[in-house]
Amino acid sequence: MSNDTTKEVTLAANEGIKVNSRYLRGTILEGLSDSSTGAVSGDDNQLLKFHGSYQQDDRDLRKQRRKEKLEKAFSFMIRVRVPGGVCSSEQYMKMLAISEKYADGALTFTTRQAFQFHRILKKDLKLAMKGINEALMTSIAACGDVNRNVMLNANPHASDLHEEVYQIALSVQDLLTPKTKAYDEIWMDVKPEQEEAETVEPLYGKTYLPRKFKVGMAVPPENDIDIYSQDLGYIAIEEKGKLTGFNVLVGGGMGMSHGNEKTYARLGSVIGFCTPDQVASVSENTVAIQRDFGDRTDRKHARFKYTIDDKGLDWFVKELAKRTGFTLEAAKPFEFISSGDAFGWIKGSNNLWSLTIHSNGGRVGDDTPSLKNGLKSLIELHQGEIRLTPNKNILLTGISDGNKLKMEAVVDEFKIGTIDHKSGARLNSIACVALPTCGLALSESSRHLPLFLDDFEAILNKNGLFNQPINVRITGCPNGCGRTPLAEIGLVGKAPGKWNLRLGASHSGDRLNLLYKQALTHEEILAELSPIVKAFADKREPEEGFGDFCMREGYVS
């Protein structure tokens, strides 16, 4: 909590909910057994987030339900934490089975490398949670004011380095996971212990963090996790294939609010270098600094990036050194070249193959039958490690030459490995979920992306740029779940059928885009982009990316 004791402060309402929750219990259990409504109380919905779930309703049905004097069509989302995006084939199949039994039959891959289920009814919520835990997975801290899923880039090439960094990512995940027993009691029927001691959450305390907190790790030159968007980022530094440590980056964040200039996207700042055995201390103390100094009065100003800007980067570096007892070394040189995924078959440094498959938006359901069934057949053959990529695609790794042959036949049968007919923009696109389930969405996003891409591809084709990799990202609001501020073409929902158009981020994810024009319709966006794409085709410099061109030519400045 803020150290400022000289003035009265009014804490955000969530602070009271947390402090009175008995370490995230609230009345969730009672709410689940109330069959008179498909909903839970507002306070419990806030606490459910820490358990990796929250209540939603089908916004497409709101009008009709109101007319019929029915309560909203409530259901629940569950997000399953997948540290580093890594799980086993068996776990994938179990998640798919849960989606079919309790959710809407679709498994969603998120931009933080998690699995997500939608449309789970309250009566099934506990059963789904049990199923997740029986698969040795968990949803705790997938949402809420705590550290979320620790990300790690997919790294199909650097298998050995990936494994080393993955083990560090797992240890950070464990270190920053809430310690309350509330999760086990509520979802696993574990008998409550006597009243828990004050030390139950040695890191977080009773009020956890002021807002969510995100940690990510990246092995250059791949930046698919958008390391600059993380609250705390670690950039792996290697010498001759061996990990020597990490450059530490703090204060990234993508969310902002329309019309509130005090909110903004911010790139993380590189503050120095630490050795692998210093990562735990840097992580724990950075979180503790945000716990102690983050703004708990205004949730729109509560992310770590604002603490960094309000107090100053130098102050943070000194405070971190004071708490850790060591000073970070100077940052080492590094270079990122792309924030996209490398599709198809790649032989890793361990001489085993990986296969990255484009998922067309990260939804594997009955509306995408060849992807769903093809992946099922592939994964049954694979029986090995799976990695979800931060671009919502999926990578099967550790494949022998013999198994590759068998898997190639499946890829051909279901036509899921080919990227031949997909443009560079489609392969580098992300959409958040938005309508109909996200309560914050101002416009369509995941349902609009395919329509946008169909029309945008026609423009690219006309200008001979079909294969040009361009990051296209769309979100239904400025909260940044799809990391739109780092898109070369970013569409941010402003109102139904209207988006703000943002241009000019770099393809490697180290420069934010800027607002080009506000509240444009689909047709207006295409009309704006058409001459810019033509100019790009005519005047770009060798190897120049679309975002760099937009910046250089002054479309945004």
Nearest CB to ligand SF4, comparing residues 74 and 315: 74
The distance of closest approach from Cβ of residue 258 to ligand SF4 in the complex, given in angstroms and rounded to an integer, is: 11
Beta partners for residue 344, in sequence order: 356
List the structure tokens of 218: 């990246």
List the structure tokens of 160: 């050995």
Nearest CB to ligand SF4, comparing residues 31 and 144: 144
Whole-number Å distance between alpha carbons of 114 and 390: 9
Long-range contacts of 344-350 (CB under 8 A, 24+ apart): 344/417, 344/419, 345/404, 345/417, 346/156, 346/157, 348/156, 348/157, 348/158, 348/159, 348/397, 349/157, 349/158, 349/159, 349/160, 349/161, 349/241, 350/159, 350/160, 350/398
Helix (H) or strand (E) segment spanning residue 490: strand 489-495
Provide the residue count of the chain. 557
The distance of closest approach from Cβ of residue 146 to ligand SF4 in the complex, given in angstroms and rounded to an integer, is: 18
The distance of closest approach from Cβ of residue 385 to ligand SF4 in the complex, given in angstroms and rounded to an integer, is: 28
Whole-number Å distance between alpha carbons of 276 and 280: 8
Whole-number Å distance between alpha carbons of 494 and 476: 8
Closest C-alpha among 399, 395, 360, 367 to residue 382: 399
The distance of closest approach from Cβ of residue 38 to ligand SF4 in the complex, given in angstroms and rounded to an integer, is: 21
Closest C-alpha among 253, 128, 102, 277 to residue 188: 128
Whole-number Å distance between alpha carbons of 423 and 425: 5
List the structure tokens of 480: 């940044």
DSSP 243-268: EEEEEEEE--B----TT-TT---B--
The distance of closest approach from Cβ of residue 477 to ligand SF4 in the complex, given in angstroms and rounded to an integer, is: 3
List of residues 6+ apart from 364 with CB closer than 8 A:
96, 106, 107, 108, 109, 371, 372, 375
List the structure tokens of 343: 């599709």
The distance of closest approach from Cβ of residue 255 to ligand SF4 in the complex, given in angstroms and rounded to an integer, is: 8
The distance of closest approach from Cβ of residue 518 to ligand SF4 in the complex, given in angstroms and rounded to an integer, is: 17
Closest C-alpha among 315, 313, 224, 239 to residue 276: 239
List of residues 6+ apart from 181 with CB closer than 8 A:
23, 190, 192, 193, 196, 200
The distance of closest approach from Cβ of residue 517 to ligand SF4 in the complex, given in angstroms and rounded to an integer, is: 20
Residues labelled catalytic: 79, 148, 212, 214, 432, 438, 477, 481
Whole-number Å distance between alpha carbons of 44 and 133: 21
Residues making contact with ligand SF4 (CB under 6 A): 432-434, 438, 440-441, 445, 475-477, 479, 481-482
List the structure tokens of 180: 């309350």
The distance of closest approach from Cβ of residue 476 to ligand SF4 in the complex, given in angstroms and rounded to an integer, is: 3
List the structure tokens of 99: 């989606």
- What phi and psi values does residue 247 have, to the nearest 5 degrees? -75, 140
Nearest CB to ligand SF4, comparing residues 91 and 513: 513
